[in-house]
Chains A and B, each alone.
Chain A
Amino acid sequence: MQRESENERGAARWELLQGLFHEAADLPRAERHEFLSQRCGDDQLLLDEALRLLEADEREHSLLDGDVATLAGRLLDSASPTAHPPESFGPYRLMELLGEGGMGMVYLAEREDLGSVAAIKILRDAWLSPERRERFASEQRTLAQLNHPAIARLYDADALADGTPWFVMEYVDGVSLTSYCERHSCSVAERIALFRSVCEAVQHAHRHAVIHRDIKPSNILVSDDGAVKLLDFGIAKQVESLDVAADRTRTGMRMMTPAYAAPEQIRGDRIGVHTDVYSLGVTLYELLTGRLPFDLANRTPAGMESTILEHDPVKPSAVARKTAERTGEPSIYSSASHASWAELDVLCLTAMHKDPQRRYATVDALLRDIDHFLRSEPLEARPDSWHYRLEKFVSRHRKAVAVGSGMLLLVVGLVAFYTVRLASARNEAVREAARTAQIQRFTLGLFNGGDDDAAPAESLRVLTLLERGVHTARSLDADPAAQADLYHTLGGIFLQLGKLGRADTLVEAALAVRRSMGSTDDAASGRSLVLLGDVREAQARYADAERLAREGLAIAESRAPRGSDDVAAATISLGRTLEDQGRYADAIPLFTKAIERRKAANAPEQDVAEAMTALANSYFYAGEYAVSDSLNKLVLAIDRRVYGDRHVSVANDLINLGAIQFQWGRYDEAERYYRQALGINESWYGAANPETASNLTMLGRALNFQGRYEEAVEVLDSALAIQERVYGPVHPRVASALNDLGTIALAQGELDSAEVDFRRMRDIYREIYGGDHYLLGVATSNLGSVYLARKDYARAERLFREGARIYAASQGPDHLNTGVARIKLGRALLRQGRFHEAVVESRAGYGIVSKQTSPSVSWLQAARKDLIEEFGALGAADSVAKYRAEDEAAIAKPESSGVRMK
């Protein structure tokens, strides 16, 4: 193709050429030449060019079709000494390149004097200063002391003259663990056995205080005879410390293989033995499913980070089963029973849990559970999705569960009881309150001519004055428009203060007055409809709330004056009702629209921030924590700018951010945020205020999760004291604070303390809710757990029975809680030797639970175990066999021949 000298002609020609190319490409190959000849006519050159294009189109082109990564990788690798490695390293002579590892090149080397071989790894792009070389060498000597049959020995290590570090290691002739398993079509049992060997090796290293940090299948070689060897122990640590050139980037992912890196590695948090546990977990995942838990391909570092930190992997059993279904051939899935797979799910996912505290703390613990598994015993690990599922369920229905200002109660089993306060729920309220504060001031000014400072007055005084306002409003019959407005405003204020009954009455009154004026769909009525919707939302009447919001929005869209905020406000209200119903996917676009609207209307920043907060909340509930985090940070910046550093809006933003950190398991970060917020809340609301108490509760939880129990208890005690002072001894908030304390006490084995707390909690709920409220069930069951721990089975039985009854009555006989309660009841009965009765309960509970949460394995496992015992005692051999069969970890299934499919 000759290049035209003038761009214009060139451009025109190229247009022409392209057109021809596309047309011809659409034709069947046989017709192309003909077509082109016709169209090109005399222009032989054009014809040639077109043909060349078509040819190139059909060919593969390594550079253009590939991605530039490999190319870049090579180019950017600045000329390093390893391009010309020396021929000898001390007594070793380099023979051939074995491969490229993650950090450098590996060569096969021969030791001439001994005639033995070894592997030599040379790090690229690493450079040791003379000062560091000494330390490096001595550290390596420590590593060299690791002596275990399954760990590749590190013989020696040092640096070249120019500072390039190198290691001499035992040469292992084998293939990677995953390759080995694939080639030999290993069954689940065999894979677990191999994995167990790996764990033992890691355990050994841990006992010698060496953490691997880079465990992955390619670092685990298996030789022909099936012997396992781990490579590269401790090298990762060395490499990390050598990374002087690159600063600590946000992702810091350079020094490890992202796919196997633990969340704490990615975040740059402390590494420990639990980090190796995580990598082992991922390795196990790969062994069981043939693939990695996360698809990190084509992701940006930030995307990788958020995937690893937040996305839950699909259960191994599900992946394996899908693969089996797809390929239709004997597969790894069929080499283990359904029950075994359920166990493996728990095993694997616990090992790779994102929260180090929820993971197996040590390889010992992992090994123990592997052995449990191999012996068909119940695992020690408790499955996670129990918690998650309930957590997500409750967070979806938080308003239904909520107590007043958006406290979120999490019920997990019948043992633990968490409280998460999502201040975000009332973030808008706070902003509104700021605005309302102005109204209040105005109103107060109207009534008593006094002035007020920025902080809200004692609620009592405000309420009194507001009642006077209502009184005044009633007398405004002569001016219905003003009357309606005042009713509307007062209703809004009462709503913010949480006086829903008053708010309800007032807003309805506003609407009634407007109706009587003949206005039903004017802008003002629309606003009142929206406000009524807000009231309904607070009352947890979501269907009504949604309907009203939609009505109000419709009116706003058609009637609102130009430049008014009505549409945006209505949109936000509607969005919130959807959010309450768990319809985050629907809520999110609404909030986004509201944000845009307000921006477009040049609304004050804080109003835009309000909408952003609403959006951030939705993302939070939907589990998109990273997005929520970013949004909240933006809102925080705005609030700081608009209100200054010490405003409650800022405090609430901080709490939101803290809640996110909490979800991420970064409890120390959460703590920091909560403390900051606390400082503000205490000074704004005073020490004896429910907002402060809420804040304290969240702080207490964060402390609890860091294992700082004494501090947690102290904080929670304060929270409890405040709640009691403000609400009196009988109030849901007090009950939930007691629950926090009781949970901690139970976990600490302080059974007496726990009993006291749960008893009080139960008493409170009894008094508040009277009949059968599921929260009462929770308190009852939690109390039962205390007795179970005490081995006072008779009492435990009574309580579990009551708990189950309450659950059945309030949530339904087939509810998860009911099922679990019955399982526990079954156990309590079993322990008392009342086998017939026990069977009834255990079986019923088992039936209920197994339908809903398959990975509730430990519960089901326990139930089965109980049932086996029970039936055994009753001599019902068939039933025993049945449950035993279900229970049996049928690992040793007949070997399935056939090609292993990936």
Chain B
Amino acid sequence: MERPITQSERDDRPTELVPEMNERSELDQLFSECYEELRRLAMSVRRRDPSVTLNPTALVNEAWLKLARRPGIASTSQLHFRRIAARAMRQVLVEAARRRKSEKRGGGAAAITFDDSLAIANAGADDMIALDAALDALAEIHPRQAMMVESRFFGGLDVAETAELLQVSEATILRDWRAARAWLAAELRRTG
């Protein structure tokens, strides 16, 4: 049932891991379906008790549950799906961040910060946009590392899974993560 993922990255889109050629359209379709589903899910996510968080990883899994039965996707491995979904999730979040920022500018200018979390939320939006940009920058100098960060952070893939996805050792993943993290942190400080 698992289709092995090949390592060939012949596309110049740095963060895409492209399997065989004939799956290209499937991939696109997968991404767009995933993206739609995540958006839909995300829009209905509600705030909850801080002690229990339903996080994007969970959303991704929910999307998988929903989409897994569709014919085009059924033959995709879950790992692969999550990788794509991570991408889509990142997209969803960036858009949400941008929307939030524009809202702030638009309405309720002198917002009585009755709600402390409002201030935090806005900071979150800035963070997200900055992270998105930083990831793009990382992707330019090391596509695979950016993809790894994306998968881990937005898709919730753990070390073992990421290692399997990228067909490298776990030690490599840990090293790469550490370096990437440091780079991103430094980058975020620089820009933020």
Contacts and interface: CB of A to CB of B under 8 A. Distances in A.
Contact of B117 (A11, A25, A74): A74
Given A76-B45, A97-B116, A70 B52 contact: no
Contact of B62 (A3, A67, A250): A250
Nearest to B178: A57
Contact of B127 (A4, A63, A301): A63
A107 to B, nearest CB: 9
A114 interface: no
A75 interface: yes
B118 A83 contact: yes
B93 A18 contact: no
Contacts of B55: 67-69, 72-73
Contacts of A251: 62
A71 interface: yes
A425 interface: no
Contact of A10 (B115, B141, B181, B184): B141
A249 B179 CA distance: 39
B141 to A, nearest CB: 4
Contacts of A882: none
A73 B47 contact: yes
A100 B160 CA distance: 36
A76 B189 contact: no
B96 interface: yes
B141 A56 contact: no
A73 B124 CA distance: 10
A827 to B, nearest CB: 47
- Per DSSP, are chain A's interface residues mostly helix, strand or loop, or mixed? helix
A251 B30 CA distance: 22
B50 interface: yes
B137 A3 contact: yes
B16 to A, nearest CB: 16
Nearest to B59: A72
Nearest to B114: A85
A84 B121 contact: no
A94 interface: yes
B120 interface: yes
B52 A75 contact: no
Interface in B37-77: 41-58, 61-62, 65-66
Contacts of A63: 127, 131, 188
Nearest to A251: B62
Contacts of B140: 7, 10-11
A21 interface: yes
B124 A71 contact: yes
A70 B120 CA distance: 11
Nearest to B181: A64
B80 interface: no
Contacts of B56: 68-69, 72
B21 interface: no
A61 B187 CA distance: 12
Given A69-B55, A75-B100, A257-B52, A302 B65 contact: yes
A104 B48 CA distance: 8
B124 A78 contact: no
B115 A83 contact: yes
A649 B153 CA distance: 45
A77 B127 contact: no
A52 B186 contact: yes
A255 to B, nearest CB: 8
B125 A75 contact: yes
Interface string A120-132: 0000110000000
Given A57-B178, A75-B124, A76-B96, A250 B65 contact: yes
12 contacts: A14-B142, A14-B183, A21-B179, A67-B55, A71-B127, A77-B45, A77-B121, A100-B49, A245-B44, A246-B44, A251-B62, A300-B61
Given A10-B140, A75-B125, A253-B54, 14 more contacts: A13-B141, A56-B181, A67-B153, A69-B57, A72-B56, A75-B128, A77-B47, A79-B103, A83-B111, A85-B115, A105-B115, A246-B44, A249-B62, A300-B61
Interface of B: 41-58, 61-62, 65-66, 92-93, 96-97, 100, 103, 108, 111-112, 114-118, 120-121, 124-125, 127-128, 131, 137, 140-142, 153-154, 156, 175, 178-179, 181-190
Interface of A: 1, 3-4, 7, 10-11, 13-15, 18, 21-22, 25, 52-57, 59, 61, 63-64, 67-79, 82-85, 94, 97, 100-105, 124-125, 218, 245-246, 249-251, 253-254, 257-259, 296, 300-303
